[in-house]
Amino acid sequence: MMDIHKTLILQQEVTDLVIPVDHVAHVQLGNSLDHALLVLIKSGYSAVPVLDRAYRIHGLVSKTLILDYILGNERMEYEKLREHQVEEVMQTKFPRMKANGTFFRALELSINQPFLCIENQEGVFTGILTRRSILALVYRYFKEHKQQ
Ligand code: AMP
């Protein structure tokens, strides 16, 4: 019985857990570091996706990446915030998953990532999957099955 449940949870698609794109704070290619920092601070998130106009994902930008970039030898070089763009600092290697990917794959990728970017078959960004929602599902699963 337990094995059947285990298989089902691991093989289910992640679609239902995804925070949809219209609820995801993001920035666009060409945005200044100044704008990105504003989005990050106002949203309270440590990192957000960088998209193009067609909603394809190009990278992730974080407060840490921006602050590292403007860190000079003697002072913070704040002028760089207006002079430089997100593509100059963004992280371009990051895990991404198709919306029909399995929960097992999401669980594996989330070990090293607080959130995963989800895209459709055409490569268009559809939302994110957070480690929090993955863990919440695992917790509910164990709670429901702990006496079986
Ligand atoms: P949480 O699980 O809510 O702590 O989120 C973990 C990380 O996922 C945050 O630090 C953000 O980088 C990202 N994140 C979560 N929700 C959103 C959202 N609505 N928009 C953009 N990024 C998000």
Query: Which amino acid is residue 55, in one-letter code?
Result: Y
Beta-carbon contacts of 87 under 8 Å, excluding residues fewer than 6 positions away, are: 29, 30, 50, 58, 59
Ligand 1 centroid from CA 115, angstroms: 7
For 105-134, what is each residue's pLDDT tens digit? 999 999 999 999 999 999 999 999 999 999
For ligand 1, atom 16, which residue shows the shortest CA distance?
A: 24
The rounded percent of the chain whose pLDDT value lies above 90 is 82
pLDDT, one tens digit per residue, over 53-73 is: 999 999 999 999 999 999 999
Question: Which residues, including other chains, have CB under 8 Å from residue 100's CB and lie 6 or more apart?
Answer: 13, 15, 121
Across 2-38, b (16+ Cβ under 10 Å) vs e yields eeeeeeebeeeebeebbeebeebebbbeebbbbbbbe
